Structure 1
């Protein structure tokens, strides 16, 4: 038993496909069923007595292959809603590793006009594709351009004889000086002219392209699939300003933004500009206030630091002055002491000299009292006097 469980079974791709094909069991494959859809003819080649055509949903892009006998096929009309009876079969496609569900038609029940035409289906698919890629935010895009002051061009397509350019300009008011706006006149009843101008504006790198028309009827041109498809493929942002409130055309549905009237488009551009400028002013005011507070705090800190330095310098100065005064006082005391010593020494010397002078005077007096003068002693006395005078003068 264990060896049987652990044994590895090797299949080929075809074997796997047949294994799953045989294992599929649906009650509807065992009886006749009724199928309704839009009939689309295939290539017109017959295989094994059948034509391989297609049934597609009326409201989606889901489809199934049907095998139609020649007699029934002759009665079927392409692109009409058809109801048939048949039985479900499966077909293995080895090249893609898939199992295809098919219906073999046995009889025609009925056929009616389609609920949706082929053009309607294409329009629905186009709107689905636009929804999948996303509607671009025109307001945010304009706002960013205004804030960054990045230049951009707006091209507005209008009728050859239209006067709506004045309506748009009037609503722009003071913001008209900011926008690089240009109007391009074409025949709005001509599909070819509209496609041409859209191509040209896109190639000339217009940031925003608008199609604008005043009120009135005859809006069929804006329901053309080719024009809407061209608008979806534009690199430029695309808006419409078609003056009709009740009838929303295909072109309006696929536009990034649509306006009911041309004046509303002008008002929108003016509002975006004014709101963005106001926000910028408020942001600048807040920024200036923030910078002011930061600078004030920075300056106050610098002032506090300088005050602390001045206080420290003043303390150092006072301490230095006190130290200098103490040193000066000590030096003065030392000098006064030295001077007193010198004066005392000088007084002692003077006293000694005075004693010597008095002694010499006595000796001279004694000599003078003698009858005969000893000139040698006189000369010596004079010399001694000169020496004493010199010494006194030097000190």
Structure 2
């Protein structure tokens, strides 16, 4: 039922705690999953105290159970184990503390853990968190590398030493966290988010050495997987050994088989790069020399040609050709003129032979009347008419007498 309170009629803290306890008492027994962080079994006591923690949300709750309930799984349960507890929530009003009273404890078996991981993997795959097109490329030479690893761990040493051996000037931003147990997930998530927020960090490496499936479970946690998927900075996963494949390997932008491999993949080897530069320089020098030698051979071949040895030879050859053409044109023109002159002489001779003057030269005369008409018949004149007689060398007047 809703409470009616006001500033004038407030409820005491004890009353609020009592009401919360009443509401919690109405809850039935629930199944709860978590990881045991503290375990207290005092000799002679019939009650066992343990703390159950949710590593994904950094929440813990106290659990009590009778010794006979705990003794059923005592041989297999220890701190760090994941269990499923059937318990009744209880509220301790004087302290305002929530606890669970367990009536049954079950271990989370390996097969069940793997099945849960497989279901989570399928769900995240369907969301596209493992898609290849989401992978971000790593920078060729990062200015600063973020490293998330255990304190003074072999993984930290492998990454730092191998990276500095390959590129001595490399700089790291190291965050030491718990890499197994109940505190691993929240600390790794916080470290990754902190490094992702630093603008000078170009790539983040999450490294851990090998271990059992239970030890590597924090790196398959959904909260960590989603935190890595939301990073703007490329993330490299270097968890365990080659056969180990936590879900972090699938969501990371690059999976390294070991922490040593991560160091090799993140920074280039200065010796290899110098050797590559040397090889490229030698190759470029060989290419330029080959080009110069080819051009020199082409130039020598061009200079060896007659036209380059005697540049005026072409002019001289053309001059001889022009002289021959001029002489030939003159001969042709002479022949044409001679032929035209001969044809003109023949034509002139024919014209002269057909000219009336030639007829007059042979002694003939042309008689013309006073009007200029040529007399061709005696009937055209009468006695006493005056006619003009034209001969080869002039003309004179004659008169018809008969």
TM bucket (normalised to shorter chain) is: 0.3 to 0.5
Larger proportion of helix: 1
TM-score by length of 2: 0.39
Please give the TM-score of this superposition, normalised by the length of structure 1.
Answer: 0.40
